[in-house]
Structure 1
Amino acid sequence: MYRSVFKPGLFKDQLTIVTGGGSGIGRCTAHELAALGATVALVGRDPDKLARVREEIAAVGGVAQAWPCNIRDEAAVQALVAAIVAEHGRIDGLVNNAGGQFPAPLKDISLKGWEAVLQTNLTGGFLMARECLNQAMQARGGAVVNIVADMWGGMPNMGHSGAARAGMVNFTETAAFEWAQYGVRVNAVAPGYVASSGMDAYPPSMKQTIQAFPQTVPLKRFGTEAEISAAIVFLLSEAAAFITGTTLRVDGGRPNVRPGMPMPALRNPSVPFDGFHLAQTPKVLGGD
């Protein structure tokens, strides 16, 4: 089963939504939340992926449900949240994890491509958070965690994603202020280079670039999905009751590297936390 560092039963009797729950960080987070007692609502566009994760969780005694939805569709999001509330009577947590982008310099990004990335990484997260607030959390409180990215200083060749993620950080800070009156906390997690299945979605031309990422990270390695999930779970938990409006970086210190400053040799390697029992190495990094 999932090897979480958090206490058993931490989310007993709670309902948490995880968007993008069919793969990668979302899948891992869903497993950890279920292992800690939550009923997890898996949201995504691919019903087959959601069904597989639901079955994985059920196989180790957890509870999850698959809720296919295009989070860019306002009416679909409204109907989704209404259906979850009708069935469970509550929503305690929302992990806005769904996202995606493609590599391209700004000059080559079409309006359609730009809008698609912003709708997925910014608008969809806003719609999910707004509806969870209006339909459930406004009455009883809750916690929202938005997944952004290491976009500090810009995201060359992914400017559409950088703009969306920066927007989500600002949304997080604004919502934290406006929604505190309802007992709703809103935070974000910014993953760095994480060894996740999402790496295999990029074209073969990026293989060498991806494999070289750890050389730009002070801890000299990729992060694991479980290390991101642990940050998310902490921010959803009662231990973070006085934390709202913050963005927690989980990136091995990559944004702290300065041009012209030599990278110190690593004397004591950082040991990855591998709590996810079903984690697999991406193919681009030599996995099966």
Structure 2
Amino acid sequence: MSAYRSVFAPGTFAGQVVIVTGGGSGIGRCTAHELAALGAHVVLIGRKLEKLHTVATEIAADGGRATFHSCDIRKEDDVADVVQAIVVAHGRIDGLVNNAGGQYIAKAEAIKGKGWEAVVASNLTGGFYMARECFTQAMKERGGAIVNIVADMWGSMPGMAHSGAARAGMMNLTETLALEWARHGVRVNAVAPGYIASSGMDHYPPEAGEQLRSMAATVPLGRFGTEAETSAAIVFLLSAASSFITGSVVRVDGGRPNARGGWGDFTARADTQQRDAVKPFDGFHRYRAPKVVQGERAE
């Protein structure tokens, strides 16, 4: 097995402790691998211990360091307890990647209160709890960097009103926390992934497969993004290279929000998609494309 091919210098995060929520799969798993490859001690948080254990084992096999905790970030007291446990174990928290979240496809009129509350809690409230506890228990005295993962919600998110509202809320929260916490040496930014070929795609129902596969054609760069391209943006915002960046969002979406109906077809051709400036970057050596993208049915 080869090593993670990060564009960042080895040892960039040496001695640092970075939390990655939702670290058991997809973008969270990829980011955890890259941070560990760059010297961080990564703390994985999620609800399913088996998935977290698998990722931690992968990282250890690749020569990195990772520990994990089971936690439902929607539960305020549980978040406070797990952050306290991390501070006790490591004495510091240098970075937080607020990646945990999720949603389901439904028209607005079909979304019930319970479903709405669950999605908002996963994508907004839980992220707030994590950020607040990392700040009050560790970063307020030492400083740190927080990266909130949002989404391509610019304009609207038809079929996912609950997620769109929560992600937009997280963007405002990012800007607000960046202002309030700047005096403590804490930076807060966001990364907004667009259509990324991540394992999360296989969690949607089989009937959504055709729609999911067709989305790449709506992206000006003409393809899906990779987990590694998203991770690179996250890692940059955690690194010292972004020390004068706070309250900002980095879109990793191939220009998708810029493509408006009626403006013509600006999609890159297959030959131009392989030019050096825009061809896919996949530094994650353990990456496997989601089955739905390959035209297969997810189990």
- The alignment's TM-score, normalised by the length of structure 1, stands at 0.99
Pairing partner for 1:5 from 4, 7, 18: 7
Counterpart-to-counterpart distance in 2, 1:117 and 1:177: 26
Task: Find the aligned partners of 1:78 and 1:272 in 2 and give their Cα distance.
Answer: 39
Question: Which of the residues 272, 282, 286 maps onto 2:290?
Answer: 282
Q: 1:184 aligns with which of 183, 186, 198?
A: 186
Deviation at 1:210, TM superposition (A): 0.3
The Cα shift of 1:262 comes to 1.2
> How far, CA to CA, are the matches of 1:243 and 1:107 in structure 2?
39
Say yes or no: does 1:193 pair with 2:201. no
1:29-48 matches, within 5 Å, as 29-48=31-50
Tell me whether 1:135 sits opposite 2:143 in the alignment.
no
Q: Is the 8 A contact 1:192 1:254 kept in 2?
A: yes
SS of structure 1 residue aligned to 2:12: coil
The residue number in structure 2 matching 1:103 is: 105
Query: Structure 2: which 5+ residue stretches go unaligned?
Result: none
Give per-residue Cα distances to partners, 1:99-149, cap 9 Å, x unaligned.
100000010000000000000000000000000000000000000000000
- Structure-to-structure mapping, 1:1-288, within 5 angstroms: 1-264=3-266, 266-267=268-269, 268-269=272-273, 270-286=278-294
- Indicate conservation of the 8 Å contact 1:280/1:287, yes or no: no
* 8 Å contact from structure 1 (residues 281, 287) kept in 2: no
CA distance in 2, matches of 1:263, 1:83: 52
- Alpha-carbon contact 2:217-2:267 (below 8 Å) kept: no
Q: Distance in 2 between matches of 1:223 and 1:111?
A: 33
For residue 199 of structure 1, what is the amino acid of its counterpart? M
Q: Give secondary structure in 1 for the equivalent of 2:148.
A: strand
CA distance in 1, matches of 2:143, 2:21: 19
SS in structure 2 of the partner of residue 17 of structure 1: strand
2:285 aligned partner, one-letter code? H
- Whichever residue aligns with residue 289 of structure 2, its letter is T
Contact 1:18–1:42 at 8 Å: present in 2 too? Answer: yes
Shift of 1:264: 2.6
Paired positions, count: 288
User: What CA distance in whole angstroms lies between the structure 1 residues aligned with 2:241 and 2:268?
Assistant: 32
User: Residues 201 and 32 of structure 1: is their aligned pair in 2 closer, same or farther, counting only changes over 3 Å?
Assistant: same
Mapped contact 1:17–1:40 kept (Cα < 8 A)? yes
Deviation of the 1:287 alpha carbon: 7.2
How far does residue 265 in structure 1 lie from its aligned partner after superposition?
5.0
Change (3 A) 1:80 1:106: same
* Separation in structure 2 between the aligned mates of residue 285 and residue 133 of structure 1, nearest angstrom: 39
C-alpha distance in 2, partners of 1:264/1:219?
A: 9
SS in 1 for 2:147: strand
Q: Which digits, 9 at most, give the CA deviation of each residue in 1:162-207, with x for residues without a partner?
A: 0000000000000000000100000000000000000000011111
**CA deviation after TM superposition for structure 1 residue 266, in Å:** 2.3
Instruction: Determine the C-alpha separation between the residues in 2 that align with 1:161 and 1:53.
Output: 26
1:78-101 Cα distance to aligned partner (Å, 9 max, x none):
000000000100000000000100
Amino acid at match of 2:282: D
Shift of 1:259: 1.2
Root-mean-square deviation (CA, aligned residues, Å) is 0.9
Deviates more, 1:265-274 or 1:110-119: 265-274
Equivalent position SS for 2:292? helix
Which digits, 9 at most, give the CA deviation of each residue in 1:225-253, with x for residues without a partner?
Answer: 00000000000000000000001100000
- Distance in 2 of aligned mates of 1:169 and 1:264: 28
Tell me if structure 1 keeps the 8 A contact 2:20–2:32: yes
Deviations 1:30-53 (A, max 9, x none): 000000000000000000000000
State the AA in 2 paired with 1:38.
A
